[in-house]
Amino acid sequence: MLLPSDPSFRVTVRDLTKSYGDSLVLDHVSLDLESGCPCCLMAPSGAGKTTLFRILMGLETADSGTIEGLEGRSFSAVFQEDRLLEGYTALQNIRFVTGRGYPAHELTAIIKHLLPEDSLKKPVSEFSGGMKRRTAILRAILAPADIVLMDEPFTGLDPETKRQAARMINEYTAGKLLLFSTHSKEDAALLGAEILRLDENGGLCSPGIGSVPAGRGLRLIWTAHGSPFLFY
């Protein structure tokens, strides 16, 4: 089984800002993210979660702000679109990123925890939306990556499958830096997230953490110290 490449590291984001034309999407976002401390982001559609993920992966450039700690780090991701190789089987899609990191019999056994055995020889083009999502999750958590980003990973999954997926995410991302987004408090609770709530003054608050001003787009400050947090 593959293990995290580095026992502990931190990614520091400071004053990250991003606009598209006149639309401010990220407004001075600051985050301290630590490996081994899962982080959940929750915000309305259009608040900037996906943009933040894309900037972290280097797919977009912020207008201002800094990110430290990404040097030499590898990523895996679940996007809102599954982005699978449609003509390949689930095993081939996953093997594409794991290489020889897992023996074939071990990888097949892991996949069977989320996908039925009779699906393993079918191209993913024949899969349902939920089965494609499960394949995308498996690909991300089994890849030899330091940082795992998941944009609404539980979309299209029934409650029992969500629980199974959450258990596997916890197991296979242990020691890695996990950042994921969701619209559902219930989904986030599967990973034991502490929730930051909007207070009556439009700020973000949580037990032991003071209010944080809410502005246009995603605007928050958080430091992880051993437990997951959820923002919205």
pLDDT in tens, 21-40: 998 888 888 888 889 888 88
In a domain, 108, yes or no: no
> 177: domain range?
10-85+145-231
Q: How many domains does the chain have?
A: 1
Tokens representing 197 are 């709530």
Question: In whole angstroms, how far apart are CA 72 and each of 2, 53, 140, 218?
Answer: 18, 17, 18, 27
pLDDT, position 31: 81
Determine, yes or no, domain membership for 218: yes
Q: How is residue 32 annotated by DSSP? A: E
Does 49 reside within a domain? yes
Cα–Cα dist 39/180, whole Å: 6
pLDDT at position 54, please?
93
Q: What is the pLDDT of residue 6?
A: 52
Establish if 93 belongs to a structural domain.
Answer: no
**Structure tokens belonging to residue 88:** 């390949």
Residue 95 lies in a domain: no
Supply the pLDDT for residue 202.
28
Q: Cα–Cα–Cα angle for 98, 36, 17, nearest 5°? A: 90
Residue 102 placed within a domain? no
Residue 75 in domain:
yes
**pLDDT for the residue 168:** 95
Question: Facing residues of 39 across strands?
Answer: 179, 229
Q: Which residues of the chain have pLDDT under 70?
A: 1-6, 44, 192-232
CATH number at residue 28: 3.40.50.300
**Predicted local confidence at residue 167, as pLDDT:** 94
